[in-house]
């Protein structure tokens, strides 16, 4: 992951989609200033590195190995569980969760979202991205310890149940959906094991990344009706005055 996150087609393309959607929502709401961001489940820290361009950022993760990689990137991190974040309420302007809530380590996704909402300031934004659609379940999900693949409606309800207002929600990794569906179907038929996220021959790397970059431009204006992932941006409601 550490070696792949900056340039590999899936990591780079999905980051463009997610951060593009976040930027679109920020612009729509007039939130153009610097933001203090928490990346909840930061992995080896590449997304956090990109997020710090908009203001100070902090990452948390349970993996000591991941945190060592984060420190080698020069980003600020701490060891913490999503279900018990060591921060006071209303601390951050933005909280991000990139492919974390689906994981078996997160035993209760409702509780995790409530905890992320707790540390958000009123009016702050939560970005959540998760793998989508049970029909895509395959060897990759087993390899990366998936617990669940979500529909857009499920992710929306998960966020709304914590009192958040969903501003945008869209499927993504849509243009490659037929390829992924075929791959996962063949995995189930052949009994293949292991993740299918990795570096491809250069022509496919360039093509697949270009398709995701195209989606990043489109999703700023339109939501996709299906895809291999689903991403949503929600806002914590302002306090009544």
pLDDT in tens, the chain (241 residues): 888 899 999 999 999 999 999 999 999 999 989 999 999 999 999 999 999 988 999 999 999 999 999 999 999 999 999 999 999 999 999 999 999 999 998 989 999 999 999 999 999 999 999 999 999 998 888 888 899 999 999 999 999 999 999 999 999 999 999 999 998 888 888 888 877 777 899 999 999 999 999 999 999 999 999 999 999 999 999 875 4
- Which DSSP string do the residues of 85-97 spell out, in sequence order? -SS-SS-EEEEEE
Handedness of CA 150, 152, 155, 158 (dihedral sign): negative
Q: Please, what are the domains in the chain?
A: 9-236 (3.40.50.150)
Cβ-Cβ contacts under 8 Å for 20 (sequence gap 6 or more): 216, 217, 219, 220
Q: What is the DSSP letter of 55?
A: S
């Amino acid at each position: 992951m550490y070696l792949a996150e900056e340039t590999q087609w899936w990591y780079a393309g999905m980051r463009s989609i997610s951060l593009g959607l976040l930027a679109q929502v920020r612009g729509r709401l007039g939130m153009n200033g610097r933001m203090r961001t928490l990346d909840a489940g930061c992995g080896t820290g590449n997304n956090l590195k990109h997020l710090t361009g908009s203001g100070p950022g902090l990452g948390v993760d349970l993996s000591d190995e991941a945190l060592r990689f984060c420190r080698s990137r020069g980003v600020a991190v701490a060891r913490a569980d999503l279900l018990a974040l060591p921060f006071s309420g209303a601390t951050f302007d933005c909280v991000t969760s990139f492919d974390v809530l689906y994981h078996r380590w997160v035993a209760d996704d409702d509780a995790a979202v409530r905890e992320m909402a707790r540390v958000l300031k009123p009016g702050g934004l939560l970005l959540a991205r998760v793998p989508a659609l049970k029909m895509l379940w395959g060897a990759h999900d087993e390899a990366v310890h998936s617990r669940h693949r979500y529909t857009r409606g499920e992710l929306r309800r998960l966020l709304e149940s914590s009192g958040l207002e969903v501003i945008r929600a869209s499927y993504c990794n849509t243009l490659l959906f037929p390829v992924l569906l075929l791959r996962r179907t063949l995995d189930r038929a052949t009994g293949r094991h292991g993740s299918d996220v990795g570096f491809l021959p250069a022509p496919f790397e360039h093509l697949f990344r270009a398709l995701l970059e195209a989606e990043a431009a489109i999703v700023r204006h339109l939501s996709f009706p299906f895809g291999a992932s689903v991403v949503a941006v929600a806002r914590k409601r302002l306090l009544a005055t």
